[in-house]
Chain A
Amino acid sequence: MSASAEPTSVDPRRNGSVPADTGTVRADTLRPHAEHAFADELAALAAQDDRPRPARWRLSPWAVATYLLGGTLPDGTVVTPKYVGPRRVVEVAVTTLATDRALLLLGVPGTAKTWVSEHLAAAVSGDSTLLVQGTAGTPEEAIRYGWNYARLLAHGPSRDALVPSPVMRAMAEGRTARVEELTRIPADVQDSLITILSEKTLPIPELGQEVQAVRGFNLIATANDRDRGVNELSSALRRRFNTVVLPLPESPEAEVDIVTRRVEQIGRSLDLPAVPDGVDEIRRVVTVFRELRDGVTADGRTKLKSPSGTLSTAEAISVVMGGLALAAHFGDGVLRAGDVAAGVLGAVVRDPAADRVVWQEYLETVVRERDGWSDFYRACREAGA
């Protein structure tokens, strides 16, 4: 049971403490780990990094920040930016890890939380694979340790029969552990992190032993901040994290760009016929999402109520995808207002009472008056009727 609960990606190396060996990466891996994909940049950074490094860090905090934000090294090596967004976010995140505090990355879906956490772990520890994926069914074993029952029965309790979790290994080796979707993990399991983060130790009462974290150990967790139905962090646990909120794309152009690119990628993989001239409609969806999310119209002149849904970039992508599928299979192949209207309505109106008022107000006071939006207005009226 314990073995199956562990993420399979770390399974092969669970008994060894050898870090990931870059030599074993296959060329046709669907998605290589960050430390493999950007091995050259990390090596170049490490070679030219003359600033002090905290214990067991592969790079100094300055170099980690450069790795994430991009830049040009003294020898001319170009480091690609991994995170496009406010510099402050990365600086605070790196500093948090350097001050030996656990880092909690918050944000709505589609704000690159996992991406940032993976690259931070890769840059700091050279290993982004010490990962616990949080789900509603994540057991305590995934955070503490489990047992190899065959061994346990055959030889009795011993360290050999113990199956360490990624967190436990990170503690023992002084590396960075990652917990994805922390708020999806049941509250009692979440709280097993408290001892680890405050005492920096993991007792094993069955053996009368404990694993003490060595310097360099730290933990990066990610969570959705506006997701519904999750397990709110206990205040005891919250206190042990420094929180960084990853913001949504700053400019509408950036967001339209992200949506268009993702839609193309997904569309290709689903073999949807390419839809020409969809950008206008995408821009419209993004505008609606941004305006309702920010509670103010794009021209900054009218305030709006915000609905209860998150209206994240990820949702905009799924609305456009749905619209594309409609247009391709049932429409004339051109993405039109009618194809996205129902999707937009579904994304905005999560709470039938309150959100409907918000949406209708938006329709009547903003959309109706807007030049060139009459088709969208009509389509939304029809969809909402």
Chain B
Amino acid sequence: MNGGQAGDAGQPLLLGVRHHGPGSARAVRAALEASRPRVVLVEGPPEADPLVPLAASEDMRPPVALLAHAVDEPGRSAFWPLAAFSPEWVALRWALEHGVPARFIDLPAAHTLAWERDEEDEEDTDEQDGDGGDKDGEEGGTDAGAGEQDAPGEDVRVDPLGVLAGTAGYDDAERWWEDVVEHRGAGKGDALAPFTALEEAMTALRETYGSGGYRRDLIREAHMRLRIRDARREFGDGVAVVCGAWHVPALRRRTGVTADRALLKGLPKVKTDVTWVPWTHRRLSRAGGYGAGIASPGWYAHLFAAPDRPVERWLTKVAGLLRAEDRTVSPGHVIEAVRLAETLAALRGRPLPGLGEATDAVRAVMCEGSDVPLALVRDRLVVGDVLGEVPDTVPAVPLQRDLERTQRRLRLGPEAAERELDLDLREDTGAERSRLLHRLRLLGIDWGRPAASRPGTGTFRETWRLRWEPELAVRTAEAGVWGTTVLAAATAKAEADAVTARVLADVTALAEHCLLAALPDALPVVMRVLADRAALDSDVAHLAQALPALVRSLRYGDVRGTDTAALAEVAVGLAERVFVGLPPACAGLDADAAEEMRGHVDAVHGALGLLADVPAARDGRLRARWRAVLRTLSARDTVPGVLRGRAVRLLLDEGELAQDEAARLMGLVLSPGTPPADAAGWIEGFVGGSGGGLLLVHDERLFGLVDRWLTAVPAEAFTDVLPLLRRTFSAYEPGVRRTLGELVRRGPGRRDRTDRAAAGAPGFGPGVDETRADAVSPVLRLLLGPDGDAGTREERVEVRR
């Protein structure tokens, strides 16, 4: 009653495997070589039968996945991932290489996808994520301890490997499987022996547990039996079946065709499409991606690919990686690591060192006990960066379909010619179109590029420049890895981008993008990453840069009606961190750094002003704390003058500082005790920079303050102060300077036109010399045309501008 009886009349060759088990894969190859079947049946959706020949294509490189999705609803989908070391893949390739037909025999995806719709609540995630995951292998961790159930009922899910491992005295099913199957190496002797043993064990289990709580297995197994029967009618006895070991006893059982047909009657159905998509090791390893995932695809790939001495080869690989990262790892280290791993395996009573032993050895010998380089090894080797490829000829991915449907619905067809699109976000269509374009941008499909909106249109308008280029279709196909609908794919991509983002500002930008693209599901992940990055980033400049974008996002969110409570929380946290970090970060900066920091201070100040509109922010307290920070800055001598001046000015604007107090501070800093450069910086910070002059023109209070202080400077000190002031005032635009002069002249009690125009344009005398002006006015009139009555110096200045 085992696989060894393949040749016997009436018995198909049943190869029970663990999905993604390299040992199983080797064994399957050996068994197929030994028995040479005439047809290979593989557990998988039969809709994919026409796609099997593609597996032989040159351009098809595992890991890949079979993707089945409902035609009308691309979001409803299931994956059957296959790695190079998957037994199913090995079986497919063997069949193709030997010109033997290969077929999938599992229940059609049309049913499994329909099930999922009907009973979404009843079954949990593993159905939803595709039924490619089987109960015999990769779900080893799901129901640990199920072996203790002594009254197995239909609703108790059994973890078959857990039970077997428990029986063998192992507490870890994964380890047991490795010891018993994976580390056996290429079988010498009977190629079918491992399958026989496993089948016996599974038979015993099924006798005790029945379907183990997986009710649908009975239906799937009925379907598989029928398909096997069909195949045997066609090919006789040379039939090999590769399926999860859990199913083997059920497939072996003799049941009536009618009973099986009855089970399959009346199953719900949806129209389904199947295609190949590229997969990655990282996704194989992701728990929950389908089944429970496998923890170490890189290690399994290594076990499968290594011709011999897997541990030695693995440790050499690790040494190579660490060396590439500039750690000194000598061959001596590798030798010692191998010895340690082997002895450790002996101490733990394992037949061969496994990944656990190898990892312990790497940590103790090569990494000096540190887990930091070990994380690198885990990421690059244990999981690995392998990315699969599929040929161009595979059917379209569902993402493409979803995009086409959305384009039709929004009446926004792809056009090769560039055109401009104006969107009003207050209308539903406008908002949806904007979201679609933003989502596509996130996915790297740059169909639309945002153009500068017409000025004065506010935040509810967006302007896009649209152009569909042929390579965007390729991009869409590539983006199919991320999901089956534009929304799902963009969400997954945003989450992945957040995790891999290098600098804080990238994450903030991403958060902004998520809001624009309306990806509420991605937002929690992005926010968490953002909060983490902000917590760990010790550069205040980064934090200060991130804050404005975040506050901006908050306001966008308001416009679009997104829930932004989480965002506000993060923004407030970010502000708090800026408050704490800013004073120490401002100490002892050189001129350039101080200038940069002034920009940050301004940006934070502006952002806090905007944050005031957001109810979630603890606004009052935040503002108060910000003022306290500004006060600290303004009073600290180690802070560069430009920042102190800025802080005083902001406090003055806030009404936090009385005018005479500000005047006192100004006098203090411009007194002889202060180094001239510092004093100049202070003034620069106080009224300098772009817009500083205009402010002085329009803000009489500020103007009065400077004016009063200036007039109070004693005559003998004035010449010392003058160069400092010139530095700031000479940077103003000429028009501003002129207006300032006017203002000073018109000031109260200064009607005298011959009074000094304090800040006249450099190189010119005070006032206007009428006689000399008259001399140039005819020429100017000629230049400016007959209407121009420009003749005064004022106009000349205008002309020069």
Tell me whether A and B are bound partners.
yes
The reply to whether B364 and A239 contact each other, CB–CB distance below 8 Å, is no
The distance from the CB of A309 to the nearest CB of chain B, in whole angstroms, is 16
Do residues B336 and A101 form an inter-chain contact, with CB atoms below 8 A? yes
B536 CB within 8 Å of chain A:
yes
Q: State in angstroms the CA–CA spacing of A171 and B531 once bound together.
A: 55
- With known contacts A303-B536, A357-B581, A94–B336 Cβ distance under 8 A: no
Cβ–Cβ < 8 Å partners of B573 in chain A: 365
Q: Could you tell me which residues of chain B, from 173 to 222, have a CB within 8 Å of some CB in chain A?
A: none
Q: Is the CB of B535 within 8 A of A242?
A: no
**Cα–Cα distance between A302 and B529 once the two chains are bound (Å):** 10
CA distance A353 to B584 in the complex (A): 7
A5 contacts chain B at the CB level, 8 A cutoff: no
Is B364 within 8 A of A365, CB to CB?
no
Residues of chain B within 8 A (CB-CB) of A302 are 531, 535
Select from chain A the residue with minimum beta-carbon distance to B532: A303
User: Which B residue sits closest to A105, measured CB to CB?
Assistant: B369
C-alpha spacing A385/B253, complex, angstroms: 79
Stretch at the interface among B264-272, B338-346, B430-438: B338-346
In the complex, the answer to whether B340 meets A96 with C-beta atoms within 8 Å is: yes
Q: Which A residues touch B368, using CB under 8 A?
A: 106, 238, 243
Supposing A99-B340, A239-B333, A242-B336 touch, asked if A360 and B580 sit within 8 A by C-beta, the answer is yes
Which of B333, B531, B576, B579 interacts with A303 by CB under 8 Å?
Answer: B531
Beta-carbon contact of A95 and B369 below 8 Å: no
Interface membership of chain B positions 347-389, coded 1 if the CB is closer than 8 angstroms to chain A and 0 otherwise? 1100000000000110111011111000000000000000000
Task: Evaluate contact between B347 and A364: CB separation under 8 angstroms.
Answer: no
B577 and A244 contact, CB distance less than 8 A: no
Chain A residues near B348 (CB, 8 Å)?
A: 91
Decide if B407 is an interface residue (CB 8 Å cutoff).
no
Interface centre among A65, A101, A238, A356, by most B CB within 10 Å? A101
Interface residues of B in 618-672 (CB under 8 A from A): none
Q: Scan B246-287; emit 1 where CB is below 8 A from any A CB, else 0.
A: 000000000000000000000000000000000000000000
Does A92 interact with chain B (Cβ within 8 Å)? yes
* Structural contact, A305 and B538, CB atoms closer than 8 A: yes
Do the beta carbons of A95 and B532 come within 8 Å of each other? no
Give how many B residues have a beta carbon under 8 Å from the other chain's beta carbons. 33
Question: In the complex, are the beta carbons of B535 and A303 less than 8 A apart?
Answer: yes
Q: Is the CB of A357 within 8 A of B364?
A: no
CB contacts (< 8 Å) of B339 on chain A: these are 99, 101
Is B328 located at the chain interface by the 8 A CB criterion?
yes
Q: Does A61 contact B (CB under 8 A)?
A: yes
B311 to chain A, nearest CB (A): 14
B332 within 8 A of A: yes
- For A94, the chain B residues whose CB sits under 8 A away are 347
**Closest CB of chain B to A358's CB: distance in Å?**
8
Q: Are A95 and B328 in contact (CB under 8 A)?
A: no
Q: Indicate if B453 sits at the interface (CB-CB under 8 A).
A: no
Report how far A354 CA is from B343 CA in the complex, Å.
45
Q: How far is the CB of B319 from chain A (nearest CB, A)?
A: 13
Q: What is the count of residue pairs linking A and B with beta-carbon distances less than 8 angstroms?
A: 88
- Measured CB to CB, the nearest residue on chain A to B583 is A357
Tell yes or no: A314 within 8 A of B by CB.
no
**Could you tell me the dominant secondary structure of chain A's interface residues?**
helix
Q: Taking A96-B340, A239-B333, A365-B577 as contacts, is the C-beta distance between A62 and B584 under 8 angstroms?
A: no
The listed residue (B367, B371, B580) touching A364 by CB distance below 8 A is: B580
- By beta carbon, the residue of chain A nearest B330 is A239
The interface residues of chain B lying within 8 Å CB-to-CB of A244 are 364, 369
Q: Are A99 and B336 in contact, with the CB atoms below 8 A? A: yes
Asked if residues A91 and B364 are in contact (CB atoms below 8 Å), the reply is no
Q: Which one of A65, A245, A353, A364 contacts B370 once the chains associate, using CB atoms below 8 Å?
A: A245
Q: Is A278 an interface residue (CB 8 A)?
A: no
* Interchain CB contact under 8 A, B538 and A357: yes
**Is A295 a contact of B577 with CB atoms below 8 Å?**
no
Cα-based distance from A361 to B585 in the complex (angstroms)? 14
Residues of chain B contacted by A98 (CB below 8 angstroms)? 343, 347
Instruction: Report A77-118 residues with CB < 8 Å from chain B CB.
Output: 88, 91-92, 94-96, 98-99, 101, 104, 106
Q: Once bound together, how far apart are the Cα atoms of A65 and B346, in whole Å?
A: 13
- Say yes or no: A101-B369 contact (C-beta < 8 A), given A239-B330, A361-B581: no
Nearest A residue to B336, CB-CB: A101
* A295 in contact with B580 (CB, 8 Å): no
Give Cα distance in the complex from A305 to B584, angstroms: 16
Query: In the assembled complex, which residues on chain B have CB atoms less than 8 Å from the CB atom of A101?
Result: 336, 339-340, 365
A245 to B367, CA, bound (A): 11
Residues on B with beta carbons closer than 8 Å to the beta carbon of A95: 340, 343-344, 347
Inter-chain CA distance A96–B339, complex, in Å, is 9
Give CA–CA (A157, B241) in the complex, Å: 82
Cα of A65 to Cα of B344 in the assembled complex, Å: 11
**B367 neighbours in A (Cβ, 8 Å):** 243
| Residues in B neighbouring A379, C-beta threshold 8 A | none
Contact residues in B for A62 (Cβ distance below 8 Å): 347
The answer to whether A243 touches B344, judged by C-beta atoms less than 8 angstroms apart, is: no
Q: Is A29 an interface residue (CB 8 A)?
A: no
| Chain A min CB distance to B541 (Å) | 14
In the complex formed, the residue of A with least CB distance to B572 is A365
Chain A, range 264-308, C-beta contacts under 8 Å to B: 295, 302-305
* C-alpha spacing A295/B532, complex, angstroms: 10
Q: Is the CB of B536 within 8 A of A305?
A: yes
- Which 3 A-B pairs give the minimum distances between C-beta atoms? A243-B369, A245-B369, A303-B535
27 residue pairs A–B, Cβ–Cβ below 8 Å: A91-B360, A92-B361, A92-B363, A95-B344, A95-B347, A96-B340, A96-B364, A99-B336, A99-B339, A101-B365, A106-B369, A225-B369, A238-B368, A239-B333, A242-B340, A243-B367, A244-B364, A244-B369, A245-B370, A303-B531, A303-B536, A304-B535, A305-B535, A305-B538, A357-B580, A365-B573, A365-B576
